[in-house]
Chain A
Amino acid sequence: MKTTLSLCAGLLALSLGTANAASGGDSYNLVQKGRYLATLGDCTACHTQPGKPLFAGGVSIDTPFGKLVGANITPDPETGIGGWSFEDFQNVMSKGHAPGDKRLYGAMPYTAYTKVSREDNQAIWAYLQTVQPVHNPVETNLLPFPFNLRSSLIAWNLLNFEEGEFKPDAKKSEQWNRGAYLVQGLGHCGTCHTPKSLTGGDKNDAFLAGADLQGWVAPNITADPHAGIGAWSVEEIVQYLKTGANRFDIASGPMAEAVEHSTQHWKDEDLMAVAVYLKDDPRTDWPKPVEPLAADSPAMVAGKAIYADRCSACHVGSGEGIAHLFPKLAKAPLVNAADTASLIRVVLAGSRAGGTEAAPTAPAMPSFAWNLSDENIADVLTYVRNSWGNSASPVSSAEVTDLRDSLNER
Chain B
Amino acid sequence: MTDKSKGFTRRQILVSSAASLAVGAAASAKAATVAGTPGWIPFDHNGPMHYDTPGWQFFTAEEAREVEAIVERLIPADDLSVSGKDAGCAVFIDRQLAGEYGTFARLYREGPFTPGTPAQADQSPLVPQERYRIGLAALGKYCQAQFQKPFSGLEGEQRDKVLTDLEKGAITLEGIDAQFFFQQVLGNTMEGFFADPIYGGNRDMVSWKMIGFPGARYDYRDYIALHNQKLDLVPLSIIGSSAWNKKG
Contacts and interface: CB of A to CB of B under 8 A. Distances in A.
Contact of A298 (B217, B240, B247): B247
A301 B42 contact: no
A371 B218 contact: no
A350 B37 contact: no
Interface stretch (A56-64, A199-207, A360-368): A360-368
A306 B245 CA distance: 9
B45 interface: yes
Interface in B210-242: 217-219, 221-222, 234, 236, 238-241
A302 B243 contact: yes
A355 interface: yes
Given A371-B45, A376-B244, A309 B236 contact: yes
A172 B235 CA distance: 60
Contacts of A366: 44-45
A18 to B, nearest CB: 30
Contacts of B221: 316-317
B108 interface: no
Interface residues of B, number: 26
Interface in A373-410: 375-376, 379, 407
B45 A370 contact: yes
Contacts of A14: none
A244 B150 CA distance: 66
A305 B240 CA distance: 10
B47 interface: yes
A313 B246 contact: no
A298 B246 contact: yes
Contacts of A348: 43
Interface in A305-360: 305-306, 308-309, 312-313, 316-317, 348-350, 352, 354-355, 360
A386 to B, nearest CB: 15
A302 B42 contact: no
A352 B222 contact: no
Contacts of A355: 36-37
Range of interface residues on A (Cβ < 8 Å): 20 to 34
A349 B37 contact: no
A133 B209 CA distance: 69
A302 B43 contact: no
Contacts of B222: 308, 312, 317
A299 interface: yes
Contacts of A316: 221
A367 B43 contact: yes
B118 interface: no
Contacts of B243: 302, 305, 309
A366 B40 CA distance: 10
Interface string B186-227: 000000000000000000000000000000011101100000
Nearest to A297: B248
Nearest to B237: A309
A369 to B, nearest CB: 6
A313 to B, nearest CB: 3
B38 interface: yes
A309 B222 CA distance: 12
Contacts of A407: 42-43
B246 A350 contact: no
B240 A371 contact: yes
Given A299-B246, A302-B245, A367 B45 contact: yes
Q: Chain B CB within 10 Å — which of A316, A366, A370 has the most?
A: A370
Contacts of A302: 243-247
A355 B234 CA distance: 38
Contacts of A349: 42-43
A335 to B, nearest CB: 20
Contacts of A354: 37
A370 B217 contact: no
B245 A370 contact: no
Contacts of B36: 355
B44 A350 contact: yes
A376 B239 CA distance: 12
Contacts of A371: 45, 47, 238-240
A370 B41 CA distance: 14
Contacts of A312: 218, 222
A367 B247 contact: no
Contacts of A309: 217, 236, 240-241, 243-244
Nearest to A311: B218
Contacts of A298: 246-248
Nearest to A299: B246
25 contacts: A302-B245, A302-B247, A305-B241, A305-B243, A305-B244, A309-B244, A313-B218, A316-B221, A348-B43, A350-B44, A352-B37, A352-B40, A355-B36, A360-B37, A366-B44, A366-B45, A369-B43, A370-B45, A370-B47, A371-B45, A371-B239, A376-B240, A379-B244, A379-B246, A407-B43
Lowest 6 CB-CB distances: which A-B pairs, in order? Answer: A313-B218, A305-B243, A349-B42, A352-B40, A355-B37, A317-B222
Given A362-B37, A407-B42, 9 more contacts: A299-B246, A305-B244, A309-B243, A317-B221, A350-B44, A362-B38, A367-B43, A369-B43, A371-B239
